[in-house]
Structure 1
Amino acid sequence: MAKCQKYNNLFFSIFIWLIRLAILIPLTGATALAASPYDSIVLSNDTQEINIAPYLWWSRDNESSILLEDILYQRVALTWRKGTSENPNFGLNPPPYWFRLNVSNPSAREIERWLDIQYPVLDTVEVYLLADGYVLKSFRTGDTLPFSKRPIANRNFLFPLRFGPQQNYEIYIRVKTEGSMQLPAVLWDPQVFLDQDQWLLAAQLLFTGIMLAMAGYNLVLWLLIRDPIYVLYVAYVMSIAIVQLTLHGTSYQFFWPDSPSWNQDQLVFFIGTSMLFASLFSYRYLDLHINRKGLGYLFLVGALLGLLSSIMALTASYVAALKVAMFTVFVLSAVLLGSGAFLWFLRTQNAAIFTIGWGIFLIGNISIVLAKVAVFPNWKIIEYGPQIGSTAEVFLFSLALAQRINQERKQRLLMQEHALEMERKARSAQQEVLRSQQLANEELERRVALRTEELKTALTTLSRVNAQLQELAVRDDLTGLYSVDQFRLHLKEEWSRCSRSVSSLSLVLIKIDSFELINKNYGRVAIDSYLVELAKKLDDLTERAGDRAYRLAEDEFALLLPHSAIENALQVAERIRSFSEAKLMVVEGHRFTVTLSIGISNEIPDSSESMDGIIRRARSAIETARNQGGNSVQFSLDS
C-alpha cells in the first residue's frame, strides 16, 4: 500500500508540473518578436537565414478580387499595415491577404535565396518577384493543386528567387485559404536549407516509424489476445499520426501527392477519427462500460462528435467541418483530462498513466489549435510540440496496455487457483456421498437423497472446472513447458514426419543430479527457483520451428529436435549442461549449483518401428552419464 501511495504521489507531481507548463506556455507569448526597424531585407553571402515576418507589410482583400496589376497600377487603394509578430496569423477562414516586402542586394554578385513558407496547408499561394515595377518571376501553388505543380518538391512551399547585383526588389505574396491564415516564412541560402531540411525530414520519418512500430506491435497483440481495445488503440495511433504528418506537409508529399481534393478533406477527417477512437479507447481502457457508466456517456458523446466531424469533412464545407472538429478537440480534451484526474483522485486503477499521457499530448494539441485561431503566436515549438507529445503519449499508453496484460494474467492465475480449490471440494463431496450410500437404514436413505441432490450440483461444477483444466493440462504449472502427455503426442507426430522426409530426429533427455538431496537441504522454494531458470534456458534453446521443450517428471526434462543431426544435439546439450554448472542459485540465503546428466539419442525414424526405442536409448545414455559421476553428456546412436 505504501508503494502504491508513493507512485500516486509521483504521478500527481508530474501532473501538476504539466498543468504549470500549460499555463507558462501562453505567458511567454509576451516576448513576441517586435517589428524590425528596417523596411528592407539587405542580402549578403553571410546572411543564410532570414525570418521575413518583421519586414512584412500586409493588406486584406475583402472583395477577393484584387490582382497584382491593380496594386502596381494603383487601381485600388490598399491599406498596408506593418507586421508585428514573429509569424503573421489572422485566424480561421479570412478573406485573401496580400503581403509585400522589400529586398536589396548591394553586393556585386548575384545571390540566390529560397523563400520557404512553412505552413503547408494553405489553399493557394501566389508569389511575385518584381524589380523596377516589372514582374521577373511568378509562382502559383497550394495544397489545392497537385504536388507536382510546386516549384521545388518539398513538404513546405519553396520558391527559388535570384537577386541580381546592386538591385532593389519587391516580393508580393497573395494567400487564400479556408483554414487558418498564417504566413511563417524564411529566406534561406539553398545549401543551408537543404542541410537543415534533412534533419527535419529525418525527424518526420522517425516520428512515422515510431507510430507505425507502436501500431504494428499492438495490432499483433490484438491478433493474439483478441481484445478490441488494441484495435481502438491502433486506429487512434494511425489517425493522430496522419494528422501530425498532414500539418507538416509530409502526408501530401509521400502518401497522396496527386489527390489535392482528398488532401483538403483528410485533415479534418482524421482529426475526427482521432477523437472518435480516442474516446472509445479511453472508454474501454478505464472500464467505463462496467464502472461509472454516467461518466462513460460523456466519452460516447465525444465519440459521436468525432464521427460527426469525419462525416462533415466529406460532405460539408471545409470551414464548417473544421469548426466542429476544433470544438470536438476542446470539449473532448477537457472531458478526457478532467475524467482522468477525477478517477486518479479516486485511485482508480490505471488512471494515473492515462491522465499523464493525455496531459502531455493535450498541452501540445490545445496549443496548436489556439495557434491556428490566432490566440497563441505560431512558434516553432508549438508546431512540433504535438508530435513530441504524441510520441510520449503513445509510449505511455503502450506501457499501460502492457500493464493491463499483466493484470489480466494475474487474474487468470487467481481463477485457476479458485478452480483447483473447487475441484478439491467437489471430490471431497463426491467421496462423502459415496460413503453415505454404504449405510442401509431409512434415516440414511433420506440423507442419501439429499446428498444425491448436492452431488448433482457438485458434478455440474466439476464438469465446468474440468473443461477449464483441460487447457491447463497441456503445460506444466511451474515451468510452463509442455507436459509428458504432450511429449508422447509430439514425438509420435515428429516420428511420422521425419520418417516420411527421411530426416534424422534427435531426443535430448535431462536428469537433475542429486535432486532429492538438493530438495532436502535447501527446500522446495529453492529447487523450484532452479527449475524455473532451467525451463527458461530450455525454452530459449528451442530456436527452430518444431523444436520443443518438455517436463517429463519432477527432475526430468526433454528436448525434441526434429531434422537435427547428432552434432547439433550435442552442442545444445552441452550448452544446457554448462549453463546449469555455471548457474549460482541464491535463494533465501542459500547458495548452490546444480549439475545435470544428459542423454542423447538420434536416428532416422522408420514408420514400421516403434518410437519407444529412441526414448530407451536416451535413457540408457543418461544412465551412462550418471554412472560416470553425472554432470556430463552421453549419446547413443541408432544401432
Structure 2
Amino acid sequence: MFVLLLSLFSQVVAAGKETLQLEYVASNAKIVDIINNPSIHWQTTDDKVLNLGYSNLSYWVRTSLNIDEKEGPYLLEIAYPVLDQLDVYMLQEGNIFVHQQLGDKQPFVDRPFAHEHFIIPLPNGTHGKVALYIKVRSSSALQLPVVLWTNHDFLINDQVFRIVMGIYFGLMGIMAAYNVLLYFTIRESTLFYYVLYVICLALFSACLSGFAFRYLWPNSLWWNDQAILFFLISSVLTGTYFVMTLLEIGISDKWLYLGCRLILGFGLVLLFSSVFFDYAVMIKLTITYAVSACIWGVFCRILRLAGKSRLATYYSIAWSSVLIGGIILALNKLDLISQTWFTENALLIGTAIEVACLSIAIGEKLNTEKNKRFQAQLTAFNEIQKVNSQLEKTVAIRTQALQEANDRLELASRTDALTGVANRRALDEALHSECSRAKRFEHALSVIMIDIDFFKQVNDTYGHEAGDDCLIHIGRILCNCATRAGDFVARYGGEEFCIVLAQTDGSQAFDLAEKIRMTCEASPLISESYCIEMTLSAGLHTQTKPPYIGKELLASADQALYFAKRNGRNQVAISGEL
C-alpha cells in the first residue's frame, strides 16, 4: 500500500509540475558578476534533477521561468531539505525583484513559506519571462530538484505528499508502540532492540525529509546538521543488536559474533568522530558503513538461518529490502544514478517493508517458541496419561530395569574400563572373601602379581594408544589361561595385573604363571602399523595356613615380582624361594 501511494504521489507530481531545464557552473562569484559576465561557460544536464554528488564547491544554477499571470499565483519549490546554503534571485529585464536566503543553516522561522522543502512564493502580478539564479553550497549531496508550481497544483501535491509520509511515520509509530507494550508484557530483549531500531529509522527518515527540522528542532542548527549522521549510525547499532538477539548470535558463534562486535565498535567510533570531522567526509564513511552492515545482516541470515523456515523468509525480505533501498539511495546521492521518485524514496520503501517484515519475524520467532513449549507440555501430559494408565505394569518393568541397571552399574564399578577384567576394588573384595574362605576351610590360597616388561618403552615408541592395546591384549591372555571357576583376574594398576587362585597350591600356581609367561612371549600384538613383542615378569606367593591377610599376600607376591624384574625379567619368582 505504501509503495502504491508513493507511485500515486509520483504521478501527481509529474502531472502538476513544470520541468525546468537547468544550467550550472562552479563559481563563488556574486550575482552581479554572474549576470554581467557573458563569457561564463554554462553547463547543461539531461537529467530532470541536477545532481552534482558530494562537493565542497559553490555552484550557480540558472534557468528561465515563463509565468502566465492568469494561472497564478506561483510557487518555486526546491525539494531537497538538507541543502546548507541557498541564495535565490529572480530577475526581470536585468533587475532583481526577488532575493531569498535559504538552507538548513538558517533558522526555520526565517523561511518565507513554512514547509519542509524550500518554498519561494512569486510576487503577485509577476508575468512574462523571469530569469532564475540560484547559488548553492552544501556539505550533503548537492541535488537541486527545482519545480515551478501553480498554487493549486502545489496544494494537491503537498496533500498527497503528507498522506504518504503520514502513513510511513504512522506505520513506524504503530510498530514501535505495539512492540513497546509487548516488551513490557513478556520482557523479550529482541523487542526492545527492535523498538529502538524503528525509532532511529523513523528519526533518520524525518531528518532526510525535513520534518524533524520543522517540528522537532527548528532552531537547533548544529544538531540538525549532526542528526542525520547520528540517527543513521544509531540505526545500524540498534539494528545490529536486534539481529544478534533475533538470530541468537552469541560468543559460541565465533565469526558471526566477532563480525557483529566489529560493526558495533566501528559504529561507536563513527558516532564519536562525527562531532569533530567534516560532515561531507563523515557522511560518505557512514553510508559505506551502513551498506556494509546491511550486507553483513544478509550474510548472518545465510549462515544462521540455512533452512527454509518462515523466520528465514521474513528476515531475508526485510534485510534485502533495506539493503536494496540503501544502495539505491547511496548511488543517487553519489550521482551514480539519476534522481527519480523511486531512487529518492527507495530507502523509505525499503525500511517500511523491513519494519513490517521484522515485526512479523519477531512474531514468528515468539510463536515458534510458544509452539515448542506447548508441544513439550502436550508431550509431557500424554506421557503422564500413559504412565497413569499402565502404572502397575510400568512399575514392574521399571523395577526390573532398575535392578538390571544396578547390576550393570555394580559390574561397571568392579570392572576395569580399558581391559575388561576386574578392577582394584573388585580385587580387594575378592581377596578378602577368599582369605575368609581359606581360613574357614584351611586350604591353600595363591596370588600371582604380573608386570609387563619394559612397558614404558612401548608407550614411548608406539604411543599410548598402542600401550592401551597391549594392556587389552595381556588381559585377554590372562583370562584365557586362568579359566577355572575359582580363578580371579584383575588389573592391579598401570601395567600390573593380579590373579587370585583359590584352593591352589604353589606348584599349580607356578605352572599357571609359567603358562601365562610363555603364552605372552609367543603372542606378539600385531596390527596394520606395528608388531609388538612383549614379555612378563611374575611374582608368586602361596599361603597354606593362617594368617590369611590380603594385604600381606599382595605384598609378598609383589616382593617376588620385584625380584623377578631385578633378576632379568621374563621369569616367575616365588616368594618363599627368595
Q: TM-score range by the shorter chain?
A: 0.5 to 0.7
Q: Give, in whole Å, the separation in 1 of the partners of 2:127 and 2:142.
A: 34
Q: Give, in whole Å, the separation in 2 of the partners of 1:192 and 1:150.
A: 21
SS in 2 for 1:314: coil
5 Å matches for 1:425-504?
A: none
Q: Which residue of 2 aligns with 1:220?
A: 181
**Corresponding residue to 1:160 among 121, 135, 141:** 121
Q: What amino acid sits opposite 1:82 in the alignment?
A: T
Q: Which residue of 1 aligns with 2:318?
A: 357
Q: Are 1:283 and 2:240 counterparts?
A: no
SS in 2 for 1:316: coil
1:129/1:136 contact within 8 Å kept: yes
What are the ranges of 5 or more consecutive residues in structure 2 without an aligned counterpart?
Answer: 1-14, 411-578
Q: Which residue of 2 aligns with 1:94?
A: 56
TM superposition shift of 1:110 = 8.4
TM superposition shift of 1:317 = 2.2
Q: Give, in whole Å, the separation in 2 of the partners of 1:143 and 1:408.
A: 48
**Corresponding residue to 1:79 among 41, 46, 49:** 41
Q: Give, in whole Å, the separation in 1 of the partners of 2:157 and 2:69.
A: 28
Q: What amino acid sits opposite 2:24 in the alignment?
A: W
Q: What amino acid sits opposite 1:205 in the alignment?
A: G
Q: Give, in whole Å, the separation in 1 of the partners of 2:45 and 2:190.
A: 49
Q: Which residue of 2 aligns with 1:50?
A: 18
Q: Are 1:119 and 2:80 counterparts?
A: yes
5 Å matches for 1:106-255?
A: 111-162=72-123, 164=125, 167-255=128-216
5 Å matches for 1:209-608?
A: 209-289=170-250, 292-347=253-308, 350-416=311-377
The C-alpha deviation readout for 1:122-168, integer Å capped at 9, x for no partner, is 01111001111111010011111111111100111101114756643
Larger Rg: 2
Q: Give, in whole Å, the separation in 1 of the partners of 2:378 and 2:71.
A: 83
In structure 2, the CA distance between the partners of 1:290 and 1:49, relative to structure 1 (3 Å rule), is: same
In structure 2, the CA distance between the partners of 1:167 and 1:189, relative to structure 1 (3 Å rule), is: closer
TM superposition shift of 1:201 = 0.8
Q: Give, in whole Å, the separation in 2 of the partners of 1:259 and 1:271.
A: 18
Q: Are 1:66 and 2:7 counterparts?
A: no
2:328/2:343 contact within 8 Å kept: yes
The worse-fitting range, judged by mean Cα deviation, of 228-237 and 319-328 is: 319-328
In structure 2, the CA distance between the partners of 1:108 and 1:126, relative to structure 1 (3 Å rule), is: closer
Q: What amino acid sits opposite 1:146 in the alignment?
A: P
Q: Give, in whole Å, the separation in 2 of the partners of 1:98 and 1:81.
A: 10
SS in 2 for 1:121: coil
Q: What amino acid sits opposite 1:147 in the alignment?
A: F
Q: Give, in whole Å, the separation in 2 of the partners of 1:248 and 1:402.
A: 30
Q: Which residue of 1 aligns with 2:517?
A: none
Q: Give, in whole Å, the separation in 1 of the partners of 2:154 and 2:247.
A: 46
1:340/1:352 contact within 8 Å kept: no
TM superposition shift of 1:176 = 0.8
SS in 1 for 2:122: strand
1:96/1:174 contact within 8 Å kept: yes
What are the ranges of 5 or more consecutive residues in structure 1 without an aligned counterpart?
Answer: 1-46, 437-442, 451-639
Q: Give, in whole Å, the separation in 2 of the partners of 1:271 and 1:351.
A: 25
The C-alpha deviation readout for 1:269-311, integer Å capped at 9, x for no partner, is 0000001111111121112217633123222222223333332
Q: Which residue of 1 aligns with 2:424?
A: none
Q: Which residue of 2 aligns with 1:103?
A: 65
TM superposition shift of 1:417 = 5.8
Q: What amino acid sits opposite 1:215 in the alignment?
A: A
Q: Give, in whole Å, the separation in 1 of the partners of 2:43 and 2:96.
A: 23
TM superposition shift of 1:224 = 1.3
TM superposition shift of 1:68 = 0.9
TM superposition shift of 1:393 = 1.4
The worse-fitting range, judged by mean Cα deviation, of 229-238 and 334-343 is: 334-343
Q: Give, in whole Å, the separation in 2 of the partners of 1:287 and 1:146.
A: 46
SS in 2 for 1:263: helix
1:117/1:183 contact within 8 Å kept: yes
TM superposition shift of 1:347 = 4.5
SS in 2 for 1:137: strand
Q: What amino acid sits opposite 1:388 in the alignment?
A: I
The C-alpha deviation readout for 1:610-630, integer Å capped at 9, x for no partner, is xxxxxxxxxxxxxxxxxxxxx
In structure 2, the CA distance between the partners of 1:418 and 1:191, relative to structure 1 (3 Å rule), is: same
SS in 1 for 2:274: helix
SS in 1 for 2:339: coil
Tell me how large the CA RMSD over aligned residues is: 3.2
In structure 2, the CA distance between the partners of 1:228 and 1:268, relative to structure 1 (3 Å rule), is: same
Q: Give, in whole Å, the separation in 1 of the partners of 2:352 and 2:161.
A: 16
In structure 2, the CA distance between the partners of 1:201 and 1:424, relative to structure 1 (3 Å rule), is: same
1:118/1:185 contact within 8 Å kept: yes
Q: Which residue of 2 aligns with 1:620?
A: none
In structure 2, the CA distance between the partners of 1:419 and 1:194, relative to structure 1 (3 Å rule), is: same
The C-alpha deviation readout for 1:492-548, integer Å capped at 9, x for no partner, is xxxxxxxxxxxxxxxxxxxxxxxxxxxxxxxxxxxxxxxxxxxxxxxxxxxxxxxxx
Q: Give, in whole Å, the separation in 2 of the partners of 1:370 and 1:306.
A: 21
Q: Give, in whole Å, the separation in 2 of the partners of 1:163 and 1:171.
A: 17
Q: Give, in whole Å, the separation in 1 of the partners of 2:71 and 2:373.
A: 75
TM superposition shift of 1:333 = 2.0
TM superposition shift of 1:343 = 4.3
Q: Give, in whole Å, the separation in 1 of the partners of 2:144 and 2:345.
A: 16
The worse-fitting range, judged by mean Cα deviation, of 382-391 and 214-223 is: 382-391
TM superposition shift of 1:360 = 1.8
Q: Give, in whole Å, the separation in 2 of the partners of 1:108 and 1:296.
A: 65
Q: Give, in whole Å, the separation in 1 of the partners of 2:95 and 2:126.
A: 17
Q: Give, in whole Å, the separation in 2 of the partners of 1:51 and 1:379.
A: 13
TM superposition shift of 1:348 = 6.7
In structure 2, the CA distance between the partners of 1:84 and 1:361, relative to structure 1 (3 Å rule), is: same
In structure 2, the CA distance between the partners of 1:308 and 1:232, relative to structure 1 (3 Å rule), is: same
1:286/1:350 contact within 8 Å kept: no
1:344/1:355 contact within 8 Å kept: no
The C-alpha deviation readout for 1:309-335, integer Å capped at 9, x for no partner, is 332333332123212211112211221
TM-score by length of 1: 0.56
The C-alpha deviation readout for 1:454-513, integer Å capped at 9, x for no partner, is xxxxxxxxxxxxxxxxxxxxxxxxxxxxxxxxxxxxxxxxxxxxxxxxxxxxxxxxxxxx
In structure 2, the CA distance between the partners of 1:422 and 1:269, relative to structure 1 (3 Å rule), is: farther
